[in-house]
Chains A and B, each alone.
Chain A
Amino acid sequence: MKVRYIYIILSLLLVILAVLNIVLGSVRIPLAAIFDMLTGCDGGNPTWQVIVMQSRVPQCVTALFCGAALSAAGLMLQTTLANPLAGPSILGITSGSSLGVAIVALTTGCSFSAAGEIMGITATVSGALIGAFVILAIILFLSTIVRSNTMLLIAGMMVGYIATSLISILNFFATAEGVHSYTIWGLGSFSGVSLSQMPFFVTAVSLGLLMAVLLIKPLNALLLGANYAKNIGVNVRRVRCLLLIATGLLSAIVTAFCGPVSFIGLAVPHVARLIVGSSNHNVLMPVTILTGASIALACNLICLLPGNAGVLPLNAVTPFFGAPVVIYVIVSQKRMRFYN
């Protein structure tokens, strides 16, 4: 009963935030005109049409899917590694994507942040995917040797450091334009997915989210640890592989299009646990996905606050919401009960 209310409230919140994301912006557009455009009627003003249909709506959809993807990835990692501080960036997956993007950006010098350069974007996405999955392959290999989840986490962090340091070395040799466009991408933004790329982006993220939902039952079993999970019939090695693939896909796609977005993957699962008051994934996974989408939309709204002066970088906003949540969870012993 209580769970149903949580779903209803979160869905309402999500809808309100999505509408605000489309309505608010540096250019004032009447609500009626936006409604006309969205329902397919002629909106009248062609400038408004461009702003709403090619900027605000894609950005809103991107934020929604990004938030959902990163949060689901974070939850899967926290449960798999039995570690409250795990997130998509922790295993070096995001760093791997960043390295892939850096190699593309800095060697070709193509400015992928500018919309319309389809070749540049395709190369970026391929770079991020290849980077993420190379790191993932290394992690999968390590996970066959390293039994302890904590050790695997540390190994992942080390692999991430190596990727980061390679990026720094690449930056040292790169052209000024290359470094500039890479830096812009590194600030994070939900405006990186154009209308033509939207179907690919949405399909890829949905696939990852579907995997996350299908893995709910073994995720619950993994709360008891690998040995207990195996004893209640879970093929632990296969499930771990599937979890890492789902996590890798979700983080790589998001990183490729939006840059290395920080804190959402780490903090949202904690927010969801506080809302639900349980670590049962039957409820926790859907609530995490809904909360992640809502929080990403809220962060995007905050980015728009400067109005005509421009847009705040996403990674300047997410820590303001994420870091206090993580600190609260660690400091509050009562909240830590989810891990004991």
Chain B
Amino acid sequence: MLLTTENLSIGYSAQKPVAANLSLSLAKGQMTSLLGPNGVGKSTLLRTIAGLQPPLSGSVTVCGELLSAISVSELSRRIALVLTDKVSAGGLTVFELVSMGRQPYTGFFGRLSDSDRAIIDQSMAEVGIAAKSACHVAELSDGERQKVMISKALAQQTPIIILDEPTAFLDAAARIDVMRLLHRLASESQKAILLSTHDIDVATQLSDNLWLMNGNGLSCGTVVEIVESGLLNNLFKDSDLRFDTTERRFVW
């Protein structure tokens, strides 16, 4: 297991935790999708696991070490992130932005070695953005930008990649494109990939595992286990949507 949590409570105040007693794990070579309605705390969970905000209680273990004991620079070589944050990097070229992923490895002035450049080129090629290498980020479509950020995460060469809603704002083709790309990266590069998404049908087709978060806690399992358990019916509590286990989509 590359990442495990033990009795993890997340949120902003101990009186009202967003979620409590989470014991989760991410395995090498597997893609895990975190599903749940808006505002249930998916982003909070991802940020806590990634070390961007402290847990209320419990612990996160990354590659055998407690998250709280790992330095910022060491963590940047273990977990790479793709977030929903606004990026004001329109004035950088795609190459320059992807090269940020090498910052954990470069020296004081960030000078890129030949091997750094090779890794950046390869990261761009893997997500299919190499042709845009010299373009400014401002010229790209939302889908292309998302691929650039994923490429940056690849350039970090971490065993774990965590993505917060990587398919938001993308059109149908780009969504499936990004999800297939992540699926391929997990199996080919043997990375542990965790992402949150609202594309439940694509997630059930391409993920290995699902984490369901619905306000009452978190259930996890393989896609088959989750789908057959009927738990997806309870995902949206106040809605009459049902999940059709044979068609693998919501019906009403």
Contact = CB atoms under 8 A, between A and B. Distances in A.
Q: Determine if chain A interacts with chain B.
A: yes
Contacts of B100: 220-221, 224, 228, 232
Interface in A281-329: 282
A233 B72 contact: yes
B96 interface: yes
Contacts, number: 99
A227 B89 contact: no
Interface in B73-131: 73, 75-77, 79-81, 83, 85-93, 96-97, 100-101, 103-104, 106, 108-110
A232 B101 contact: yes
A220 B100 CA distance: 8
Contacts of A224: 85, 87, 89, 97, 100
Given A273-B91, A338-B91, A225 B72 contact: no
B89 A279 contact: yes
B90 A338 contact: yes
Contact of B90 (A225, A228, A337): A337
A35 interface: no
A225 B110 contact: no
A39 B87 CA distance: 51
A168 interface: no
B52 interface: yes
Given A234-B103, A282-B110, A228 B96 contact: no
Interface in B116-164: 136, 138-139, 156
B193 interface: no
Interface residues of B, number: 36
B76 A223 contact: no
B90 to A, nearest CB: 4
Nearest to A284: B91
Contacts of B75: 231, 233
Given A273-B91, A340-B88, A230 B101 contact: no
A161 interface: no
A11 to B, nearest CB: 21
Contact of A233 (B47, B76, B96, B138): B76
B96 A280 contact: yes
A217 B52 contact: no
Contacts of A282: 110
B194 interface: no
B182 interface: no
A217 B106 CA distance: 10
Contacts of B34: none
Contacts of B76: 231-233
A232 B50 CA distance: 12
Nearest to A222: B88
A231 B80 contact: yes
A220 to B, nearest CB: 7
A227 B52 contact: yes
24 contacts: A217-B109, A217-B110, A221-B103, A224-B85, A224-B87, A225-B83, A225-B85, A225-B88, A227-B47, A228-B83, A228-B100, A231-B79, A232-B76, A233-B72, A273-B91, A277-B91, A279-B92, A280-B92, A280-B93, A337-B90, A337-B136, A337-B138, A339-B90, A340-B90
Given A228-B85, A232-B104, A233-B76, 9 more contacts: A217-B106, A217-B109, A224-B100, A225-B88, A227-B81, A228-B100, A233-B104, A273-B91, A280-B92
